Amino acid sequence: MKKSSTPVQEPPGGAVHRPTTPPVWQPRTDPAPLLPDPEPYRVLGTDAAAGADPALLLRLYTELVRGRRYNTQATALTRQGRLAVYPSSTGQEACQVAAALVLRERDWLFPSYRDTLAAVVRGLDPVQALTLLRGDWHSGYDPHEHRIAPLSTPLATQLPHAVGLARAAQLKGDDVVALALVGDGGTSEGDFHEALNFAAVWRAPVVFLVQNNGFAISVPLDKQSAAPSLAHKAVGYGMPGRLVDGNDAVAVHTVLGEAMARAGRGEGPTLVEAVTYRIDAHTNADDATRYRADGEVETWRAYDPIRLLEHELTQRGVLDEAGIRKAAEAAETLAARLREQLNTEPALDPMDLFAHVYAEQTSQLREQADLLRAELDAAAGKGPGEER
């Protein structure tokens, strides 16, 4: 075929500029400061422990001992049929205690279903914290009163809620920081990624604490993520990632404290990964021996958060036998109260089904309530209009 000799017509105004090299690209953010340390941050057993506040150390220790007893008592109550289910946080107490103690009164805690201990350390009545797991109510407490969001059973759905609250506080000019807790399994959920993305874009005052306990029910971490660490995920959203030893209560408190302060100064969110281990099964309905070896569990038992802190305190002369007994006695008092109150059958009123659905009941709900009331009155042998 003969090639055309007709020249290319240039548009009016001169020749078209055809660049031979792409424009220079620059990252919008330097990723280096966002990267987590190569090893989890530790305090206990290092020189940094010498500068820790003894009063804080004793408070952490007392709450760890109470928390362990809380876990064992709640687990026992499931075997007695007093709780429908209990997801134990044995082995993870340092994460939850530190998370609760780092909060100011005006801050908000957004827990997952495994974080009842964090809610208790925050000041929530232990029985109220277990009401959901008892099967009585969706939430046994007033979230606004305690500044603790309802315990979240669906994975990671509490994270966008935490970001929403933090963003609202930011817009209103309120000095409030939200601390959201999630497990390693929750980082595989879409809610996790959406929450981090919005939080970073808005520079919202929120901190995300991932308690990496090694398993999402029976799925180990290496089958959930190929990232170097879960803390590395922060870089993709433009926020700092921190990696901390989740069994070192002082280290967790330090890292979270720094992240909370950073958020409070308007510098945006932080993702903290606490490397810990779930000693007990996923819940009392799970058989963990099907997917992990006893030797693995025993290795982590030797790295117990209570033993770590107790060793540090006794070595420094901050804790003696009397202090150890005092903490144990406080833990037994908590356990006795749990047994007493949860062994009492709750007084349930079927009419409560209609009490907290709408501020003003719909006509359909009023009709259903009237039908149920009539059935209850008939069963009680009462006529129309008589009080139940």
- Select from 63, 45, 68, 69 the least CA-distant residue to 313: 45
SS3 content of the chain, % helix, strand, coil (to 5): 50, 10, 45
How far apart, in whole angstroms, are the C-alpha atoms of residue 241 and residue 374? 58
How far apart, in whole angstroms, are the C-alpha atoms of residue 184 and residue 233? 12
Given 66, 242, 262, 282, the catalytic residue:
282
Given 193, 291, 337, 339, the catalytic residue:
291
Torsion of CA 237, 240, 245, 246, to 10 degrees: -60
Positions in the chain short of pLDDT 50:
none
User: Is 118 within 8 Å of 99 (Cβ atoms)?
Assistant: yes
User: Residue 13: how many CB atoms within 10 A of its CB?
Assistant: 6
Looking up tokens 């290092």, which residue turns up?
A: 46
How far apart, in whole angstroms, are the C-alpha atoms of residue 90 and residue 278? 7
How far apart, in whole angstroms, are the C-alpha atoms of residue 152 and residue 116? 10
User: Is 316 within 8 Å of 239 (Cβ atoms)?
Assistant: no
Q: Which helix (H) or strand (E) holds 55?
A: helix 54-79
Whether residue 291 lies in the annotated active site: yes
User: Is 118 within 8 Å of 181 (Cβ atoms)?
Assistant: yes
Q: What is the pTM of this model?
A: 0.89
Who contacts 336 (Cβ-Cβ below 8 Å, separation ≥6)? Answer: none
pLDDT at position 353, please? 86
The stretches of 184-293 forming alpha helices (DSSP H) are 190-202, 249-264
Burial 135-172 (b: 16+ CB within 10 A, else e): eeeeebbeeeebbbbbbbeebbbbbbbbbbbbbebbee
Given 68, 122, 167, 278, the catalytic residue:
278
> H/E/C letters for each residue in 354-377?
HCCCCCCCCHHHHHHHHHHHHHHH
Q: Indicate the SS3 state at residue 273.
A: strand
Looking up tokens 């660049």, which residue turns up?
A: 19
How far apart, in whole angstroms, are the C-alpha atoms of residue 103 and residue 85? 28
Q: Indicate the SS3 state at residue 207.
A: strand
Domain 32-342 has CATH 3.40.50.970: yes
Question: What residue segments make up the domains of the chain, in order of their start?
Answer: 32-342, 350-379
pLDDT at position 13, please? 60
Q: Indicate the SS3 state at residue 205.
A: coil
